[in-house]
Amino acid sequence: MDKIRQHFKEAKELLENFLTNEKTLQNIKAAGDLLTQCFSGGNKVISCGNGGSMSDAMHFAEELTGKFRNDRKPLPAIAISDPAYLTCIANDYSFEEVFSRYISAMGQQNDVLLAISTSGKSKNIINAATTARKKGMKIIALTGRDGGELASLCDIEIRVPHHGYSDRIQEIHIKVIHVLIDYIERNLGL
């Protein structure tokens, strides 16, 4: 029972620490404004991540194209998550190119990339951000730890400065995703 209780205590402490960082909260608002502007301008969001972060990228896209809490029009969001595409690119090129090639094909100026990496060091995520920048896209990064190389490549970074296991970082990332979707809906009047 103590170990079970400890998991929830750790999550609670991390969330409380996250909430005390005013700059981080301002970055969440700035990300919400950027996403709202993206959709208002007729552009789309492309999201990517590895492992659990891919699940978060998919969750973000499906909540936008489907619905979050209330019925509304769908918003253009895509998660790079097609297994046939991913294995094709990984096999024919490299795993480091699975997201950047998609961005190269589908990304357009003023689209937004939501890049999710708990370490900020995933080479395929870094390559996606680099390609997005070349395409004239804006980049929002959800990171952890010290932000890694990804921190220097994005327009807005939302960092969970936790140096323990990635699952704790991902728990905050999913809360941030839900806050962003709510922010978008409210600001678009949906």
% of the chain residues with pLDDT over 90: 95
Q: Domains plus CATH for the chain?
A: 25-187 (3.40.50.10490)
Read off the pLDDT of residues 23-58 as tens digits, 9 standing for 90 and up: 999 999 999 999 999 999 999 999 999 999 999 999
Torsion of CA 24, 163, 144, 82, to 10 degrees: -150
Judged against a pLDDT cut of 90, whether residue 190 lies above it is answered with: no
Which parts of 136-175 are beta strand (E)?
Answer: 138-144, 156-160
DSSP lists the bridge partners of residue 113 as 46, 139
Q: Environment class of residue 8 by beta-carbon count within 10 Å: exposed (0-12), middle (13-18) or buried (19+)?
A: exposed
Average pLDDT of the chain?
Answer: 96
pTM: 0.96
Judged against a pLDDT cut of 90, whether residue 9 lies above it is answered with: yes
Across the range 96-111, mean pLDDT stands at: 98
Location of structure tokens 């769908």: 74
Read off the pLDDT of residues 64-76 as tens digits, 9 standing for 90 and up: 999 999 899 999 9
